[in-house]
Structures are given as structure tokens and as C-alpha cells.
């Protein structure tokens, strides 16, 4: 069987969306602008942060390596715990708080977003104190 589709109209197959009343400019931009350029524009801040973090890591390794093999060996022992603390703070806790703030702002509830930011501080300070205390008390025995 041979199926043929023939358009009788000169209108495009997917017409442009009609402007919806009540949308702010940022929402309209997300809905109406080309997809690839919109995603690239939204990804630019995260990409910049990742590039800067990688460059800082390389710079730290460069300076430690200039101190000698002993300093580099010491840094290698500390790295797994530092990476774990960073992953917990940025990935788990930081990601959850950032998502909560974004959802609250998306609903237009600025007060709720402010509360979530204070929850982040309320979590970060005790966790930082606990991490510091554990490493202060048990760090020498861990790295001995």
C-alpha cells in the first residue's frame, strides 16, 4: 500500500503557538524561543561553575606537586574524604535545597523560598561543626 499525505494549505504543519495572556517574559521565552539556544543559555552558568571547579582542582594539584612527592602523597590520602564531604554538601543537601527554592519560586511563593534558604543555613552550620569536630578528634588516627 502506498500512503501519501498531501497538504492542501500553505500554512506550516505546526503553527506557531499563540501568545498566552498572563505569562511573564521569562516563561514566554522558555515556551517560544528555539530549543537549542534556550538550553545552551540555561546551561551556561552551570557549565561555567564546573569548568572553574576543574581548573581550581588542577591548580591545587599543580601547587601541591611543586612541594614534592611527600606533599602530593599526603593530599592523595585526604582527597577521598574531601570528595565525600563535597558530594554530600553539593549533591545531596545543596541539590535538595536548590530544588526546593526553585519550586517555591516557580509557584510564586517568595516567603517559602526564603524559609528554605534559612533551612539550608540551619543544616549547614551544625553539619559543618560536626564534620570539623570529627576530623579534629579522629583525623590524626585516621591518617596515622
143 torsion bin: left (phi>0), alpha (psi -120 to 50), beta (else): alpha
% of the chain with per-residue pLDDT over 70 = 85
pLDDT of the residue at 59? 93
pLDDT of the residue at 5? 54
The reply to whether 61 and 115 lie within a common domain is no
The reply to whether 62 and 102 lie within a common domain is no
pLDDT single digits (tens) 53-87: 899 989 988 999 899 998 888 888 888 888 888 78
Q: How far apart are CA 41 and CA 11, in angstroms?
A: 30
Q: Is a pLDDT exceeding 90 seen at residue 144?
A: no
Q: Total structural domains in the chain?
A: 2
Is residue 72 within 8 A of residue 64, CB to CB? The reply is yes
The reply to whether 89 and 142 lie within a common domain is yes
**Average pLDDT value for the chain:** 82
pLDDT single digits (tens) 12-50: 555 555 666 677 787 788 788 888 988 888 899 989 988
Which residues have a Cβ under 8 Å from the Cβ of 142 and sit 6 or more positions away? Answer: 81
The reply to whether 56 and 123 lie within a common domain is no
- Cα dihedral sign, 129-132-135-138: negative
The reply to whether 101 and 40 lie within a common domain is no
Average pLDDT over residues 111-140: 89
The reply to whether 78 and 116 lie within a common domain is yes
Amino acid at each position: 500500500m502506498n500512503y501519501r499525505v498531501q497538504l492542501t494549505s500553505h500554512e506550516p504543519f505546526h503553527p506557531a503557538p499563540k501568545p498566552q495572556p498572563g505569562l511573564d517574559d521569562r516563561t514566554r521565552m522558555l515556551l517560544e524561543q528555539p530549543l537549542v539556544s534556550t538550553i545552551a543559555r540555561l546551561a551556561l552558568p552551570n557549565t561555567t561553575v564546573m569548568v572553574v571547579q576543574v581548573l581550581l582542582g588542577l591548580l591545587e594539584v599543580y601547587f601541591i606537586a611543586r612541594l614534592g612527592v611527600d606533599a602530593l602523597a599526603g593530599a592523595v590520602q585526604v582527597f577521598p574524604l574531601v570528595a565525600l564531604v563535597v558530594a554530600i554538601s553539593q549533591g545531596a543537601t545543596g541539590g535538595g535545597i536548590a530544588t526546593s527554592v526553585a519550586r517555591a519560586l516557580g509557584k510564586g511563593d517568595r516567603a517559602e523560598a526564603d524559609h528554605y534558604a534559612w533551612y539550608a543555613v540551619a543544616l549547614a552550620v551544625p553539619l559543618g561543626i560536626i564534620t570539623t569536630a570529627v576530623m579534629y578528634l579522629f583525623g590524626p588516627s585516621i591518617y596515622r
